[in-house]
Structure 1
Amino acid sequence: MRTEAAKRVELVFSLFDANGDGVIDSDDFDLMTGRVLEAAVASDDGAKAAVRAAFRRWWTTLAMELDADGDGVITLDEFRPFVLDPKRFGPTITEFAGALAALGDPDGDGLIERPLFVSLMTAIGFEVENIHALFDAFGPDADDRILVTTWATGIEDYYAPDMAGIPGDRLVTARAV
């Protein structure tokens, strides 16, 4: 695994641990889902249901694949070596990427405006400065919008263990500790 990917793993674990108790469990995914849906006020019920299902699948897949001792929680040690395994998590990541990116496009024009992007990414737990850096790396148009497909691809790239120098790496730089 590349150094950049290892840093992304650490950040993802801290975000998935939405309640900050040092482990990931079902309640963390419920908390994060609620935050994201709260930020998506303009999205339709179908898009919200898709994100809810994608978060639920994330948790179910993680629990089945990574909860080595069956205690209902995932520690960083259980999480770190496997989470970026495309064979295990590829379909889950693809579903999540598509659902989250679509949630950012409530008017269905195929474009995501910066304010909603920032709101959704903040709800997940990313740092605002890093969110803006990521959006800029996606190459917004003159109206400060990015393609839904650009964001979905960016999410998938973020979880790829062999990727480096990707826009998503901006999410791990300058992170406050």
Structure 2
Amino acid sequence: MTYMRDEAAKRAELVFSLFDANGNGVLDSGDFDLMTGRVLEAAAASDDGAKDAITAAFRRYWTTLAAELDANGDGVISLDEFRPFVLDPERFGPTVAEFAEALSALGDPDGDGLIERPLFVSLMRAIGFEEANIHALFDAFGPDADDRITVETWAVGIKDYYAPDKAGIAGDRLVTAHAV
């Protein structure tokens, strides 16, 4: 069992609350359909391949959770079920990697390997993160002079977010309240 830092538990709780898109206190397949729709709407400029990849990544996220955690078959996942699993790299790592690659690629519709701040903000708002925290995260990723980050930087940042043993990472800015 990997040691889970408090920061990682807070990151998992935030993800759970955001993925609970219908606000009923548990995760179910409908939450992932709602989230997929929101993200696709924000990614209107992305090509069909990128849209298909994020749709598949959200679907895999849900099916992995359901297969691993819905032991009683009720179709819902509670926070207590979610937290230890989603932060287990051995059990959930491949799903996180697929999600990270798909989401970061969605932010690069022109295929130049760079993500501009407006699209990054739009995608992260579609997921439900607070705008001030999104900007703090983008700044932590060290944008270039044209206010862009690399696709790889974002993908690594997503993977780090789900790492149970990491603290002081860029993704912690999504959990901490930031002044606007």
TM-score strictly above 0.5: yes
SS in 2 for 1:80: helix
Structure 1 residues 44-98: Cα deviation after superposition (integer angstroms, max 9, x where no partner): 0000000000000000000011113221000112112221000111111000000
- 3-state DSSP of counterpart to 1:161: coil
Find the counterpart in structure 1 of residue 66 from structure 2: 63
Residue 118 of structure 1 pairs with residue 121 of structure 2? yes
Q: Deviations 1:84-143 (Å, cap 9, x if unpaired)?
A: 000111111000000000000000000000000000000000000000000000000000
Give TM-score scaled by structure 1 length.
0.97
Q: 2: distance between equivalents of 1:31 and 1:138?
A: 28
Give 1:85-164 correspondences, 5 Å limit.
85-164=88-167
C-alpha distance in 2 between matches for 1:6 and 1:17: 16
Give unpaired runs (5+ residues) of structure 1.
Answer: none
Equivalent residue letter for 2:74: D
1:118 and 1:83 map into 2 onto residues whose CA distance is 24
Partners of 2:56 and 2:130 in 1: CA distance: 25
* TM-score, scaled relative to structure 2: 0.96
Aligned residues: 176
Q: Name the amino acid aligned to 1:88.
A: R
Q: Write the distance in 2 (CA, Å) between the matches of 1:47 and 1:83.
A: 24
- Counterpart residue number, 2:37: 34
Deviates most, 79-88 or 51-60:
79-88
**19, 23, 28: which one aligns with 2:26:** 23
- Say what the alpha-carbon RMSD is for the aligned residues: 1.1
Structure 1 ranges of 4+ moved more than 6 A:
none
Give unmatched runs, 5+ long, in structure 2. Answer: none
- Identity over the aligned pairs, expressed in percent? 84
Contact between 1:68 and 1:78, CA under 8 Å: does it hold in 2?
no
Tell me whether 1:8 sits opposite 2:8 in the alignment: no
CA deviation string 1:9-59 (max 9, x = no partner): 110110110110100000000000000000001100000000000000000
